[in-house]
Amino acid sequence: MDYKTVLTTCTYCGCGCNFFLEVLDGELVGTIPCKTSYVSQGGLCIKGWNVHEFVTSKKRLTSPMIRKNGELQEVSWEEAIDYTASNLKQIKDENGSDSIGFFASAKVTNEDNYILQKFARAGIGTNNVDHCARL
């Protein structure tokens, strides 16, 4: 049996509570509050206590998909990346940079968001970047 706990930050609301994720043999099995967390001080709400559950949901996406004949079909990463990049390129060439838009995300990390807006601005050449702060 291999058991470990990993200190991290909650993915739900903006409080930014910290807790330990319990990992048993590579599987998430539970959440333990963190007493030394500056924000949550050993407390958690109902969503925080159960935050590990959605991670192991059977409905998680596990493979890239491309729509073929009207249906989303599983494809390799190579095909998905090529398809996406070449179509973006074609649309940019035909309609200009500002015909492409990006939704950044309040759910992903700072690093992920930074890379997305860098790609939009420096790669594509558009400032069409926004996220759902308003919503």
Whole-number Å distance between alpha carbons of 55 and 8: 14
- Smallest distance from another protein to CB 117, Å: 5
Nearer to another protein by Cβ, of 1 and 135: the residue is 135
- Burial label for 85, CB within 10 Å (0-12, 13-18, 19+), is exposed
The number of residues that bind another protein (CB under 8 A) is 95
For residue 107, what are the β-bridge partners?
none
- Does the protein bind another protein through residue 18 (CB under 8 A)? yes
CA-wise closest residue to 101 among 110, 111, 88, 112: 88
Residues 100-119 that bind another protein (CB under 8 A): 100-119
Q: Exactly one of 1, 2, 3, 61 binds another protein (CB under 8 A); which one?
A: 61
Interface with another protein includes 99 (CB under 8 A)?
yes
14 touches another protein (CB under 8 A):
yes
Name which of 15, 14, 3 is nearest 43 in CA terms: 15
Does 35 bind another protein (CB under 8 A)? Our answer is no
